[in-house]
Amino acid sequence: MTVTVPQRAAVDRAEQEPAILVSGLRMRYGRRDVLDGLDLRVHRAELFALLGPNGAGKSTTIEVLEGYRLRSGGEVSVLGQDPARDDPAWRARIGIVLQSNRDHGRWRVAELLDHFARYYEHPREPAELLRRVGLAAQADQSAATLSGGQRRRLDVALGLVGSPELLFLDEPTTGFDPEARRDFHALLRELREERATTIVLTTHDLTEAQELADRIGILESGRLTACGTLEELAAAARADSEVRWRGPDGEPRRLLTADPSQAVWELHQEFGGPIPDLEVRRPTLEDTYLGMVGADLDTTEAS
Amino acid sequence: MNPLALGLRRGAIELRQILRSRKDLYTYLSTPLVFLGVSYWRSGTHGSGGGLTQLSLAGGIASTIFMFGLMTVPQFLFGDREDGTLLRLRGVPGAMTAYLVGKTLFVLATMAASIVLLLFGGALLLHAQLPQSPGQWLTLVWVLVLGIAAVVPMGAVVGSVLPPAREALALYMMPMVGLMFISGAFAPLRNLPAGVRDLASVFPLRWIAQGVRSALLPDGAKALEVSDSWQHLGTASMLAGWMLAGFLLAPRLLRRMARRESGSSLSEREQKRLAKTAY
């Protein structure tokens, strides 16, 4: 398994244990099992993306981990503690960015961030953080007057102000324009690389998961059906690479294969030299995801 | 910083926000101003400080306490639940305690400002009488303190059990407004049928209003009360009962409400809200 763990001065025992360890997590609403024996392990300082169709239990999983929901069964340890205990010292080590927030609309942006910084022992400098998320110009504006994307960035800043060891992001880039999304991705990479923050995010955006995540988990009807790096997922899904070239007759050709290297070598033999317009495309997360979850589910995903 | 200090800071920030926003300032000033206006208009003698001015002012003060406690406080909780404020606080260590401290400070301060405005505004503008003796001042203080303690925690109870739907809030408000008309705050209780009087006597407004009248009106005015007396003992015990019930229930129900808040229930409500505004 290839997980890039950033350089750190000391890796003590506490940091070697996983940030999140879940086994046999069950969640029952009425007579329906929303989570049905979920197993999950998230390492320290990794960015883990949770994917899955709507209703698969992503939000429920995150809420159990955040200590917002009491589980019906199973073992859960987050930063070495059971989130159901909801202990303030443990809370202070966790940052949460929720899907939809309109709270504290009357508060000014800087005033709000500054206030929430005071609840933590080692907060980030609010003014610096505001600059980092690109809201310095809006510091004196009231939160209610922010645009959708600006409000999301304020939510992210509020989630980060306590310098959390573990950050939960529930569909963080919904409503971001491409530039805001790029900036946000840079922020996440910086968190992971410079602060060794563990990040768990749910997303609908497969490209985003592919670009950011060290490991990806796919949640389907209450179970984690696949989990690993992009390569591992592709291998598990037997997703094929695509090889394209131009045939001797000038017509474009296309081949799907699990072993593109072999295919290209054979083409070389065939052509006795360079292959015109050769293109090899590795399976994307989308190919893999669709191979696993099925195209029918993806249509509900998009809606 | 400890949650208590953070709560006071929160309350101070939210109070400052009223002063910053003209709209908020008008909203908070409107209630005492309306009561002052009513007292002026009802006096008939136009500001010569007759007994009717006094009666109306007493009703206004009592109604202010009642409205803040049992209408504004539930509205605050309702709004803070609906927009995700409480959920945010749940994720921050110590923030829920700070919130309660801050809101208490906020409500007490705005209440006190309204009462002061009515009491001294009435005296200056309408030549209404302030309490005439140390005894009456003392009565005013204990009635106000006990009255506030009776309605504010109970308002928090209501706010934490209201279902998260605008309709529920509106449905709750209607009987509260009704109570203002049958509690003797503006029209003498004696003129009401006994059944209505008994109903009003279950709720705190009737008692707060009677208590405030006993502090602002000359002793002879008690002849106008239902039982020809100020019924201080009855007032104190009724208000103390409400206070006890409120202080017993509020912490449990607030905790339960906070526990139930989750991101998915919030986004569900948000979607319903957006669906409604789309029509």
pLDDT tens per residue across span A61-92: 999 999 998 899 999 999 999 999 989 999 99
Min Cα–Cα distance to chain A from B80, Å: 7
Residue B278 within any structural domain of the chain: no
Residue B276 within any structural domain of the chain: no
The whole-angstrom separation of Cα B22 and Cα A301 is: 45
- Is a pLDDT exceeding 50 seen at residue B261? yes
Min Cα–Cα distance to chain A from B96, Å: 11
- The residues pairing with A199 across neighbouring beta strands, listed in sequence order, are A47, A167
Residue A146 within any structural domain of the chain: no
Q: Which of B8, B264, B277 to probe the A interface (max A CBs under 10 A)?
A: B264
Q: Are residues A202 and A246 in the same domain?
A: no
Helix-helix angle B166-182:B73-82, to 10 degrees: 180
Nearest to B77 by CA among B107, B118, B47: B107
The domain of A200 spans 13-93+164-234
Q: Are residues A213 and A266 in the same domain?
A: no
Residue B216 within any structural domain of the chain: yes
pLDDT digits 0-9 by tens, A229-250: 888 887 777 777 889 999 888 8
Task: Indicate the residue of B14, B24, B263 with minimum beta-carbon distance to A99.
Answer: B263
The whole-angstrom separation of Cα B117 and Cα B124 is: 10
Task: Indicate the residue of A88, A102, A111 with minimum beta-carbon distance to B84.
Answer: A102
Residue B273 within any structural domain of the chain: no
Contacts of B6 in chain A (CB under 8 A): 115, 118-119
pLDDT of the residue at A13? 46
The whole-angstrom separation of Cα B102 and Cα B120 is: 27
- Is a pLDDT exceeding 70 seen at residue A134? yes
pLDDT mean over B109-132:
92
What percentage of chain A exceeds 70 in pLDDT?
Answer: 91
Residue B269 within any structural domain of the chain: no
Of A192, A212, A234, at which residue does a domain stop? A234
Of A234, A254, A287, at which residue does a domain stop? A234
Q: Are residues A222 and A257 in the same domain?
A: no
User: What total number of domains does chain A contain?
Assistant: 2
Residue A290 within any structural domain of the chain: yes
Q: Are residues A186 and A226 in the same domain?
A: yes
Q: Are residues A230 and A174 in the same domain?
A: yes
Q: What is the CA radius of gyration of chain B?
A: 20
Min Cα–Cα distance to chain A from B83, Å: 5
Residue A228 within any structural domain of the chain: yes
Provide the token pair at B147: 């009255």
Residue B136 within any structural domain of the chain: yes
Residue A112 within any structural domain of the chain: no
pLDDT of the residue at A297? 45
Task: For tokens 């008994």, name the residue.
Answer: B198
User: What total number of domains does chain B contain?
Assistant: 1
The domain of B170 spans 3-264
Q: Are residues A211 and A255 in the same domain?
A: no
What percentage of chain A exceeds 90 in pLDDT?
Answer: 46
Inter-chain touch A91–B267, beta carbons under 8 Å: no
Burial (CB count within 10 angstroms: exposed 0-12, middle 13-18, buried 19+), residue B185: buried
Q: Are residues A222 and A256 in the same domain?
A: no
Inter-chain touch B266–A98, beta carbons under 8 Å: yes
SS3 A121: coil
Residue B259 within any structural domain of the chain: yes
Residue A157 within any structural domain of the chain: no
**What ipTM, to 2 d.p.?**
0.86
Task: Indicate the residue of A98, A104, A119 with minimum beta-carbon distance to B94.
Answer: A119
Of A234, A269, A291, at which residue does a domain stop? A234
Q: Worst-scoring range by mean pLDDT, B63-67, B198-202, B274-278?
A: B274-278
Nearest to B182 by CA among B174, B173, B191: B191
The whole-angstrom separation of Cα B69 and Cα B153 is: 8
| pLDDT grade for B268, boundaries at 50, 70 and 90 | confident
The whole-angstrom separation of Cα A52 and Cα A34 is: 13
Please indicate whether residue A38 or residue B166 has the higher confidence score (pLDDT). A38
Q: Are residues A178 and A202 in the same domain?
A: yes
Per the CB < 8 A criterion, the answer to whether B89 and B95 are in contact is yes
pLDDT digits 0-9 by tens, A275-301: 988 988 887 777 777 777 764 444 444
The phi and psi torsions of A172 (rounded to 5 degrees) equal -70, -30
Residue A7 within any structural domain of the chain: no
Min Cα–Cα distance to chain B from A16, Å: 25
Residue B274 within any structural domain of the chain: no
Provide the token pair at B126: 């309408």
CATH, residue A70: 3.40.50.300
Residue A221 within any structural domain of the chain: yes
Residue A119 within any structural domain of the chain: no
Q: Are residues A291 and A179 in the same domain?
A: no
The whole-angstrom separation of Cα A222 and Cα A261 is: 37
Inter-chain touch B88–A94, beta carbons under 8 Å: no
Whole-number average pLDDT of chain B: 89
